[in-house]
Structure 1
Amino acid sequence: NDGIKELFLRVPNSNRLVSDTGAIEWILIDDDVMKKAKEERHIIKSLYDNSTGTTPIDKMFEKIEKNYINKGLTNISGIKNIRRYFRKATEEQNILWIIKAYTAETDFYKILNNEIAAGASQYQNERRYIIALISHNLRLDEFTFIGTAYRVLRINNDDLKKYEVGCSLMTKSFVSSSIDRKVAELFLCQEAAQSEAQVMTRKKIDGTLIKSWIMCRYEIKHRRTGLHIENSSQYANEGEILIMPYSVFEVKDKKSSTFMFSR
């Protein structure tokens, strides 16, 4: 039955489209944050353009593989696959292998994003090379996405109150989202059902939940802010849109919705 087959294909698999904390993903914009974001974007663009003449693109691939992958990530889950992808990327000078590595269901994307968000100093240049290649490599121009994307997030309710309509947020890492709202809704229902099933769901003294599951709607208007990488993803049915670090979004609206789910 085609209908059953289609439903099966739409059941979400990857964890990249869901986050258990907003701390890694966003930071509220103030003058200092905006200045830092501009500085970081300038550094990354200068690296890609090789403004200093020290690291051409082929050397970026080599340094990422030699230093960050082979030395910095020796014990992560799925490292054999990640090394294979980066070996291919270096040999072929092909950014698509790095996209493949990012979308593989290993610990690579989690560690990469944690370290980008934290501003970790060790292997910082190599992580900047990854951001530069994904943000600016001309081979990815065809993946440029303008439109609406959705992401599921579990966030502290006190933090959620800070994100008032009209305020601006900056992404602190790569953020995976979906072009398909129904995929995001399936994730939301799955995660909310699992949370409700937990006996020890964390609550305040007054009985209110400490954290809530929310769905974020991103309106992407600028080229290369988001890439439609569905065909390069391990989970091609999820319509993945990859949003770049240091991208600024304004909060336009906040709505409360109730989703019906069963377990």
Structure 2
Amino acid sequence: MGSDGQVILHVASFCGHSETVQFFLTDSAFTSLANISSQLTLFDQLKRASSLYDYREEIPDNIYIVWSTNGESLIRKGREFRKQIDLYKTYDNQHHLITMLLIEIVEYYLNEYLTKQENVSSTKIDELKTCFREAIDEQNYLKYFVKAYTLTNGFHRVLNKHLALYILHYFDARPYSSTPAEYRLINCLVHIVTLVINHPDVRQHKYKGITYRGMLMSPNDLKPYRIGHYILNKSFVSTSKNREVAQMYAGSGQESVSGAISNHHDSSEVSVIFKFTSKQDDTALDIKHMSMVEGEGEEEEVLILPFSVFQVKDRIEKGSNADSSGLIEIDLEECEDNEQINNRKPKNNHNVNESCVEDVNQRSIESVPEWLIWSYLNVFFGVIFIGLIAIGCSIRTHKFKQQQNYLKACKWSYITLFINCIGTLSGLAFTGYLIFRYPNI
């Protein structure tokens, strides 16, 4: 290994000989390779990262996918999830509770769970513990979480796997739905997510706009991604402002990262590029200046936070041939908190499941029927008419009271009360019917 950073292992990795690299690559070699970044292109750095990931236990990268469903329920669920984890929103970075939560993460999640259940090496655990302890010392959780998340030790993959498997158990109202050990794990996962989402510096690093993510997916994993469907992610999702980076990871660019590790993937998998459009302040983080990934200036990573809801706006399938299984581009747009079902028609209908489109259109009312407008007007004028009658009855009652004719005054008082009750009940009944019959209006 020379001072110029040109090593045989690097050449072997570039040529796709992952087995050779796995055999010779040791922790000391990792350290040496870390010093050769300025002379390598972005593609070289990504290829080297792929070789490092091959050396570790492989965890599927598309595990963040949760479920897909139609209608407003998923938007509501995403909002409810975020509300439930707002418990620590009022605490600042200096609050002692934040320190207690971080200590619990270190002592249980890192020291016990990752060590015993995931067999993570002590060296990697020490790296992670250093990040979380520095977060306590400097009272800056966001900065050091991003540092831990972007370390090349596989922490982000393990964390996302656990979030995908367990995080929703936190919102299960049934008692004892999980074992005591799982409860402690779930609490640690909730702490990790909550402290990021509610961190006061999140909006300083917010990103609104378009990012891309490339990956290989099986046809079965692609089924939920139909136009009009909604997707909620349970874990953190890494994306890039640079489309070329996504193409590399999807295996569709001129230089493909997945090419060197293609023997680890099913031949039925297809290249997919996701286009994310983030619209809110607390959905995506620009971690360019906090990331530990080499060459981050070119990769321009943006981290999408958990419990964000996106709607599939478009899906373009490019043709395949004998040498390639084709490319699928999926356009995902974030749903805003006050957004209802989108009543715009999909841009591309020929690949859409007809039942999905029909289901979305049935819940979308493009215009209010004319007869319904007249019904509202009739109710309005009817209430005014009944009100005038009630006022007249009240005046007559007052007149009889002045004449000390209490019998007639009492009679007209009852008439006034009866008219008011009839008008009120009629209005409420009609309004209730309209709300029940036409909930989207």
The normalised TM-score by structure 2 is: 0.50
Compare 73-82 and 105-114 and name the one that shifted more: 73-82
Q: Is 2:152 aligned against 1:105?
A: yes
Q: Is 2:88 aligned against 1:47?
A: yes
CA distance in 2, matches of 1:163, 1:35: 19
Partners of 2:228 and 2:313 within 8 A in 1: yes
Partners of 1:148 and 1:217 within 8 A in 2: yes
CA distance in 1, matches of 2:153, 2:197: 22
Cα distance, 1:140 vs structure 2: 2.9
Q: 1:69 aligns with which of 105, 110, 113?
A: 110
CA distance in 2, matches of 1:141, 1:162: 31
1:11–1:136: structure 2 CA closer, same or farther, 3 Å change rule?
farther
Partners of 2:214 and 2:248 within 8 A in 1: no
CA distance in 2, matches of 1:180, 1:93: 32
Task: Specify the SS of the correspondent of 2:67.
Answer: strand
CA distance in 2, matches of 1:111, 1:188: 21
Partners of 2:63 and 2:160 within 8 A in 1: no
CA distance in 2, matches of 1:38, 1:255: 29
Compare 26-35 and 165-174 and name the one that shifted more: 26-35
Q: Is 2:195 aligned against 1:137?
A: no
Equivalent position of 1:206 in the other structure: none
Partners of 2:74 and 2:309 within 8 A in 1: no
Give runs of aligned pairs for residues 84-103 of structure 1, distance below 5 A: 84-95=130-141, 96-103=143-150
Q: Which protein is richer in helix relative to its size?
A: 2
Q: Is 2:240 aligned against 1:178?
A: yes
Cα distance, 1:251 vs structure 2: 0.4
Task: Specify the SS of the correspondent of 1:255.
Answer: strand
| Deviation per residue, 1:145-197 (Å, 9 max, x gap) | 001111112222133243211111011211111111111122223255346x6
CA distance in 1, matches of 2:290, 2:113: 25
CA distance in 2, matches of 1:71, 1:167: 39
Which amino acid in the other structure matches residue 88 of structure 2? Answer: L
| Deviation per residue, 1:184-211 (Å, 9 max, x gap) | 122223255346x64x9746xxxxx3x2
The normalised TM-score by structure 1 is: 0.80
Equivalent position of 2:400 in the other structure: none
Percent of aligned pairs with the same amino acid? 27
Q: 1:234 aligns with which of 287, 292, 295?
A: 292
Cα distance, 1:36 vs structure 2: 4.5
Which amino acid in the other structure matches residue 153 of structure 2? Answer: T
Runs (5+) with no aligned partner, structure 1: 204-208
Q: 1:28 aligns with which of 50, 63, 68?
A: 68
Runs (5+) with no aligned partner, structure 2: 1-37, 54-58, 168-181, 324-441
CA distance in 2, matches of 1:35, 1:119: 20
CA distance in 2, matches of 1:125, 1:214: 33
| Deviation per residue, 1:7-28 (Å, 9 max, x gap) | 8135453569xx9453432420
CA distance in 2, matches of 1:229, 1:87: 20
Partners of 1:149 and 1:241 within 8 A in 2: yes
Cα distance, 1:55 vs structure 2: 7.6
Q: How much is the aligned-residue C-alpha RMSD, in angstroms?
A: 3.1
Task: Specify the SS of the correspondent of 1:123.
Answer: helix
Q: 1:155 aligns with which of 197, 217, 237?
A: 217
Partners of 1:151 and 1:177 within 8 A in 2: yes
Cα distance, 1:35 vs structure 2: 5.3
Partners of 1:27 and 1:172 within 8 A in 2: no
Cα distance, 1:224 vs structure 2: 1.5
* Alignment: residue pair count: 245
Q: Which has the higher contact order (CA 8 A, sep 6+)?
A: 1
Partners of 2:85 and 2:194 within 8 A in 1: yes
Cα distance, 1:70 vs structure 2: 2.3
1:62–1:168: structure 2 CA closer, same or farther, 3 Å change rule?
same
Compare 54-63 and 98-107 and name the one that shifted more: 54-63
Which amino acid in the other structure matches residue 99 of structure 2? Answer: D
Task: Specify the SS of the correspondent of 2:201.
Answer: helix
